[in-house]
Chain A
Amino acid sequence: EVQLVESGGGSVQPGGSRRLSCAASEFIFSNYWMSWVRQAPGKGLEWVANIKEDGSETNYVDSVKGRFTISRDNAKNSLYLQMYSLRAEDTAVYYCARVKKAVHIDSWGQGTLVTVSS
């Protein structure tokens, strides 16, 4: 069974930074695109970013472009999301997700909560 375990969530002040990590196991990590998806409290799902198998291509939702960076380390079976210039509207549970056929998410982690507040 695919395992995705996020870490790095917590409280951060507006304008601050945070790095999320996702440890993947039970599948060949380097064979899959990966994504981050977030969900603000009581709100719907929002796709945030994805990254190609070898890290050579990344894509972002417009609202985080220039502030967030998705990356991966295939040797460590790990996915990352570096977040800068955080805003209150970035408060959400952030899910690490495996992407099938470079398009859709077929497996999700349990999420990590990031709270941006002064």
Chain B
Amino acid sequence: SYELTQPPSVSVSPGQTAKITCSGDALPQKYAYWYQQKSGQAPVLVIFEDYKRPSGIPERFSGSTSGTMATFTISGAQVEDEGDYYCYSTNPTGTQGVFGGGTKLTVL
């Protein structure tokens, strides 16, 4: 079955740039999406269609893709950005959704 691969954890100091990668063979053909999940809460969409930000999402959040890799970037990470981040896409046939394993972001 199709998989998306993320690093388990990323750690940065406040104000630094945090980058989370997501690797998947179908990403050149399928959009990547990113979700933020804070402890005990439902996920929130932070990036859609590779790089677009939903309304209300801070401008410091951005997304990009290159080949089979999608990257989520926080420029000037803040303590409140701590949480788990998941990439999401669909399998090559578009019939199933797939989440990456998640990346725990620590800002301290």
Residues of A within 8 A of B (CB): 35, 37, 44-47, 50, 59-62, 95, 100, 103-106, 108-111
Contacts and interface: CB of A to CB of B under 8 A. Distances in A.
B99 A104 contact: no
Interface residues of B, number: 24
Interface of B: 1, 31, 33, 35, 37, 42-45, 48, 54, 84, 86, 88, 90, 94-102
A28 B37 CA distance: 26
Contact of A111 (B31, B33, B42, B97): B42
A44 B42 contact: no
Nearest to A106: B45
A45 B86 contact: yes
Given A45-B43, A50-B97, A108-B42, A62 B1 contact: yes
Contact of A105 (B37, B84, B88, B101): B88
A47 B102 CA distance: 13
B99 A47 contact: yes
Contacts of A60: 96
Contacts of B42: 95, 108-111
Contacts of A105: 33, 35, 43, 45, 88, 97
Which of A45, A47, A109: most chain B CB closer than 10 A? A45
A61 B102 CA distance: 18
Contacts of A44: 84, 86, 99-102
A108 B94 CA distance: 21
29 contacts: A37-B97, A44-B84, A44-B99, A44-B101, A45-B37, A45-B86, A45-B88, A45-B99, A45-B102, A46-B99, A47-B88, A47-B96, A59-B95, A59-B96, A61-B96, A95-B43, A100-B48, A103-B90, A103-B97, A104-B31, A104-B33, A104-B45, A104-B88, A104-B97, A105-B33, A105-B45, A106-B54, A108-B43, A109-B42
